[in-house]
Structure 1
Amino acid sequence: MKKRAYIFILFIGILLIPQLSFSQVDFNKTPDDDLGNVKDEYQEYFFEALKQKGIENYERAIDALNKCLTIDESKPVIYFELGKNYNHLKNFKSAEDALKKAISMQPDNEWFLDELYDVYYKQDDIESAISTLKRLVKYHPDYKQDLATLYIKQEKFDDALQLLDELDNALGVEEVREEMRNNIYSLSGNISGQVDKLKAEIFANPQNENAHLQLIYLYGKSGQAKQASEAAKTLQKLKPDSKFVHLALYKFYLQENNLEEAISSMKLVLNASEIEEREKSKVLKDFVAFVEKNPEYQKELIEATDNFNTEKDAESLSNLGTYYLKIGDKEKALQNYKEALNQNPNDFKLLRDVILLQIELKQYKEALQKSEEALELYPAQPILYLLNGVSNINLSNAQKAIDSLEMGLDFLIENPKMERDFYLQLSEAYKRTNNNKKSSAFAKKAQAIKAQ
């Protein structure tokens, strides 16, 4: 569900509108309905309500808003604020009543309707939520997508599909809607009916790319690989500039062992700005797997990934890093892992892999800094203490290495191989402090594990 934050700048602005000059003010005149001209007491209660809601003290906010109503009950924003606070308290009946009052005063206010929709959604009152969404769809396409989701819950699959088609026609194909559509096909189980419907749409409009793409998917889902391949090739003939059709074509080309065409399709997808990064990630993963089995096409993979027209997402970069690591290009592997980490800075696996490669490439200062950053996020991960210790040893910080390694051992549980690595590094660290006795003791501990 798409919820929009309500911005109070408008209301605060209204409250704070300055008067042009004191000479123009009639102090004997009764204030009008402008929020900026009401009594100070009213404004104080209103701001108090905003403050209390901001610190999640919803009951006090409601008290302040009710005091506003005793002064002036003509302002819909007060009922709206009451509705929001009651909604936070899960007092849905009171929230509904307050919001309905606000809407009766301003029937076309999107924010009032959106909050009422949220009240119904939280109660799983699908009928009321749908009724509210039907009033909201004119404001933003996301409401249509929400409405389609509720139709799916009600098993009104045709209504949901119609909305998804309208959104695709207006905004272009989008992965979330494709997943929703595919979910509908799975839930309805009426694959043949959907195939017939799509064929009729294509017959009526052969240039309907979205209908072709859905038909390809349905054939594939129902195990009709030959029909899916034929449908994809038909779309390519009708719309030779289509990029989306290659999301299916490359797979068929691989199955047919038509490798040159498969590579051409994968390259096209990877460099198509209109195709989402998540889809590109799947294609890149297949491309990497293909080149691992067919290393003679490594040049094509590198060429395709180097010429990405759009920014690679973290998954694509991680897949590339793994590929380059497998073929021994550690510099390129590190470059891709670091770029992926920039997008997902809290990803533990990426952090670990970056530090490991930095150590292997003797980038000890960078490895030390990154391991310290990682330990702030994951203070109970022994591998990070080990990597931190190794970095410190190679930077001649033997005592810091010892401190880190001994702390890491406290977190180590049933991992003999890593335990041996800790002992070996501790032996080296103590050796550098000229404590040969402890160095020898840890060396023997490591040897004992090796002998087991």
Structure 2
Amino acid sequence: MKKQLYIIIVLIGIILMPQATYAQVDFNKRPDDDLGNVEDEFQEHFFEALKQKGIENYDRAVDALQKCLNLDSKKPVIYFELGKNYNKLKNFGAAEENLKKAIDMQPDNVWFLDELYDVYFQQDDIKNALKTIKQLVKYHPDYKEDLAALYVREEKYKQALELLDELDAEFGLSESRDGMRNDIYRITGNADERIENLEQRIANNPNNEENHLKLIYRYSQTGDLKKAYNAAKNLLDIKPDSKFVHLALYKFYLQDAKVEDAISSVKTVLTSPEINADAKAKVLKDFVAFVSQNPEYESDLIDITALVDDNKDAQTHSDLGHYYLKAGDKVKALYNFKEALKQDPNDFKLIKDVLLLQLDVKDYNAVLKDAERALELYPAQPMLYLVSAVANNNVNAPKKAIDNLEMGLDFLIDNPTMEADFYSELSIAYKALNNISKSEAFAKKAKALKVQQ
């Protein structure tokens, strides 16, 4: 609801009260007859009401307005102000009663109707809200959008769409109306009508790139990939310099085995400053997945990633790390995981990926250093104590390994696999200390847990 129609509180009385009244009052002259006394008393109570309303003393404002009413019951502004104050007090019955009296006196007063609309809207009285807003639409076309919203509430979707079409034709497109239109299409599941609307928009204005992109997306969403592909090619014909169309084209090219065209589209996306980092990361992730299934294009992946070396985000580096790990290139995988961690140093998943890969490549000193920092961030993560222990066992520091493991076991809950790993490392550490009985005892514990799994 817009509720945009407000006026300065002091001016309300001046604008709405009959001008003849003001012509009779000289505020610089002390009243010397009954009429003057009455008028002066009325003004005193009325402006007191405005003052009390301004400081949110709505009860006192009502009291002052009732005194005004006792002096003159023919001024619609008194009932209007009473209605507003009762509305603030959530006394909707009294608010409605007084506002209706004001409207009876001035049926075409927009302010009165708007306040009554608010009373009904707050009570979720859609029937009366619709009745009132239909009166308001006569005076202010902006209320048509509110009316459309009420039609949606009443599930009168056809009437809502008709109103939105009228507004679009008269004032041009707007995000708020498009949002409402999309809500209607989503609720009704009417994908065809949504697409028809976009097609009509494109017919009316072929150079509007956004509508083309929306149409491509809607076709894709409904599973009509052929039409989506044709819509993308149509946009490229109309706007050969479009960058955003390649966000769709690269996928279609890959599906059609037009790999060179796909690579060209991917490069266009990744080098376009207009396209945001999240979209670029998604495109690169898709291409990484493609290359993982088609390793003959790895050189192209290297070329493409070089295009974004200066601005790859953490997610992109992480995706590349997993790609290289799957491809068996642990050095490149570790490099990318570390680069991702530089950008997001508190990401536990990245910390874990780096530490486990460092263990895998036997870089135990790096594990000890990085695990110590990680434990400052996550002192209750048993996995960090375990990797530290593994590294300490491998650098011949079994006592430190035992300290790590004993602390880590305190945080271990319902994870028999990791618990078995803890006992295995304890067995190794005690064996290095030549405590064979403890070493064998922990080895048995580890074996028993593995048997249970």
Name the TM-score, length of structure 2 as normaliser: 0.59
Is the counterpart of residue 383 in structure 1 residue 390 in structure 2? no
- Identify the residue that residue 259 of structure 1 maps to in structure 2: 259
Using the TM superposition, give the Cα deviation of residue 196 of structure 1 relative to its aligned residue in structure 2, in angstroms: 2.8
SS of residue paired to 1:379: coil
Alpha-carbon distance in 2 for matches of 1:387, 1:219: 49
Using the TM superposition, give the Cα deviation of residue 325 of structure 1 relative to its aligned residue in structure 2, in angstroms: 0.6
- Identify the residue that residue 234 of structure 2 maps to in structure 1: 234
Alpha-carbon distance in 2 for matches of 1:423, 1:302: 43
Alpha-carbon distance in 2 for matches of 1:249, 1:198: 19
Runs of 4+ deviating beyond 4 Å: 150-168, 177-185, 447-452
SS of residue paired to 1:289: helix
- Identify the residue that residue 328 of structure 2 maps to in structure 1: 328
Using the TM superposition, give the Cα deviation of residue 327 of structure 1 relative to its aligned residue in structure 2, in angstroms: 0.8
- Identify the residue that residue 223 of structure 1 maps to in structure 2: 223
- Shift in CA distance, 369/181, structure 1 to aligned 2, threshold 3 Å: farther
Using the TM superposition, give the Cα deviation of residue 348 of structure 1 relative to its aligned residue in structure 2, in angstroms: 2.0
Q: Deviations over 1:54-78 (max 9, x none)?
A: xxxxxxxxxxxxxxxxxxx9xx9x9
- Shift in CA distance, 178/166, structure 1 to aligned 2, threshold 3 Å: closer
Task: For 1:75-86, list aligned pairs within 5 A.
Answer: none
- Shift in CA distance, 151/165, structure 1 to aligned 2, threshold 3 Å: farther
Q: Deviations over 1:102-128 (max 9, x none)?
A: xxxxxxxxxxxxxxxxxxxxx999x9x
Q: Deviations over 1:313-337 (max 9, x none)?
A: 2222211111011111112212222
Alpha-carbon distance in 2 for matches of 1:450, 1:159: 66
- Identify the residue that residue 194 of structure 1 maps to in structure 2: 194
- Shift in CA distance, 383/124, structure 1 to aligned 2, threshold 3 Å: farther
Using the TM superposition, give the Cα deviation of residue 251 of structure 1 relative to its aligned residue in structure 2, in angstroms: 1.7
Alpha-carbon distance in 1 for matches of 2:257, 2:383: 43
Task: For 1:128-143, list aligned pairs within 5 A.
Answer: none
Confirm or deny: 8 A CA contact 2:164 2:181 kept in the other structure.
no
Alpha-carbon distance in 2 for matches of 1:152, 1:345: 50
Alpha-carbon distance in 2 for matches of 1:336, 1:165: 45
Confirm or deny: 8 A CA contact 1:341 1:347 kept in the other structure.
yes
Using the TM superposition, give the Cα deviation of residue 445 of structure 1 relative to its aligned residue in structure 2, in angstroms: 3.4
- Identify the residue that residue 445 of structure 2 maps to in structure 1: 445
Is the counterpart of residue 426 in structure 1 residue 426 in structure 2? yes
- Shift in CA distance, 246/124, structure 1 to aligned 2, threshold 3 Å: farther
Confirm or deny: 8 A CA contact 2:182 2:194 kept in the other structure.
no
- Shift in CA distance, 442/322, structure 1 to aligned 2, threshold 3 Å: same
Confirm or deny: 8 A CA contact 1:317 1:339 kept in the other structure.
yes
Confirm or deny: 8 A CA contact 2:288 2:301 kept in the other structure.
yes
- Shift in CA distance, 257/181, structure 1 to aligned 2, threshold 3 Å: farther
Confirm or deny: 8 A CA contact 1:281 1:316 kept in the other structure.
yes
- Identify the residue that residue 373 of structure 1 maps to in structure 2: 373
Alpha-carbon distance in 2 for matches of 1:124, 1:321: 56
Using the TM superposition, give the Cα deviation of residue 233 of structure 1 relative to its aligned residue in structure 2, in angstroms: 0.4
Confirm or deny: 8 A CA contact 1:385 1:407 kept in the other structure.
yes
Alpha-carbon distance in 2 for matches of 1:407, 1:359: 20
- Identify the residue that residue 398 of structure 1 maps to in structure 2: 398
- Shift in CA distance, 411/167, structure 1 to aligned 2, threshold 3 Å: same
Using the TM superposition, give the Cα deviation of residue 208 of structure 1 relative to its aligned residue in structure 2, in angstroms: 1.2
Alpha-carbon distance in 2 for matches of 1:366, 1:152: 64
Confirm or deny: 8 A CA contact 1:151 1:159 kept in the other structure.
no
SS of residue paired to 1:311: coil
C-alpha root-mean-square deviation of aligned residues, in Å? 4.4
Confirm or deny: 8 A CA contact 2:212 2:232 kept in the other structure.
yes
Confirm or deny: 8 A CA contact 2:236 2:242 kept in the other structure.
yes
- Identify the residue that residue 345 of structure 1 maps to in structure 2: 345
- Identify the residue that residue 357 of structure 1 maps to in structure 2: 357
SS of residue paired to 1:429: helix
Q: Deviations over 1:212-245 (max 9, x none)?
A: 1011111122232221111100111111221111
Alpha-carbon distance in 2 for matches of 1:182, 1:361: 52
- Identify the residue that residue 14 of structure 1 maps to in structure 2: none
Q: Deviations over 1:398-450 (max 9, x none)?
A: 22211111222233344443233222221222233343432333334334555
- Shift in CA distance, 184/309, structure 1 to aligned 2, threshold 3 Å: farther
Using the TM superposition, give the Cα deviation of residue 305 of structure 1 relative to its aligned residue in structure 2, in angstroms: 1.3
Confirm or deny: 8 A CA contact 2:246 2:268 kept in the other structure.
yes
Confirm or deny: 8 A CA contact 1:247 1:269 kept in the other structure.
yes
- Shift in CA distance, 410/182, structure 1 to aligned 2, threshold 3 Å: farther
Q: Deviations over 1:239-267 (max 9, x none)?
A: 12211111111221222222222232223
Name the TM-score, length of structure 1 as normaliser: 0.59
Alpha-carbon distance in 1 for matches of 2:285, 2:365: 32
- Identify the residue that residue 301 of structure 2 maps to in structure 1: 301
**Residue type of the alignment partner of 2:282:** K
What is the count of residue pairs matched by the alignment? Answer: 320
- Identify the residue that residue 272 of structure 2 maps to in structure 1: 272
- Identify the residue that residue 311 of structure 2 maps to in structure 1: 311
- Shift in CA distance, 152/346, structure 1 to aligned 2, threshold 3 Å: farther
Alpha-carbon distance in 1 for matches of 2:361, 2:207: 54
Q: Deviations over 1:14-37 (max 9, x none)?
A: xxxxxxxxxxxxxxxxxxxxxxxx
Alpha-carbon distance in 2 for matches of 1:345, 1:333: 17
Greater Rg by CA: 2
Confirm or deny: 8 A CA contact 1:273 1:310 kept in the other structure.
no
- Shift in CA distance, 182/232, structure 1 to aligned 2, threshold 3 Å: farther
SS of residue paired to 1:383: helix
Unaligned runs of 5+ in 2: 1-50, 57-87, 90-121, 127-145
- Shift in CA distance, 337/309, structure 1 to aligned 2, threshold 3 Å: closer
Using the TM superposition, give the Cα deviation of residue 353 of structure 1 relative to its aligned residue in structure 2, in angstroms: 0.8
- Identify the residue that residue 412 of structure 2 maps to in structure 1: 412
Confirm or deny: 8 A CA contact 1:386 1:408 kept in the other structure.
yes
Confirm or deny: 8 A CA contact 1:334 1:354 kept in the other structure.
yes
SS of residue paired to 2:362: coil
- Shift in CA distance, 290/359, structure 1 to aligned 2, threshold 3 Å: same
Alpha-carbon distance in 2 for matches of 1:380, 1:219: 49
SS of residue paired to 1:302: helix
Alpha-carbon distance in 2 for matches of 1:283, 1:124: 48
Alpha-carbon distance in 2 for matches of 1:151, 1:255: 44
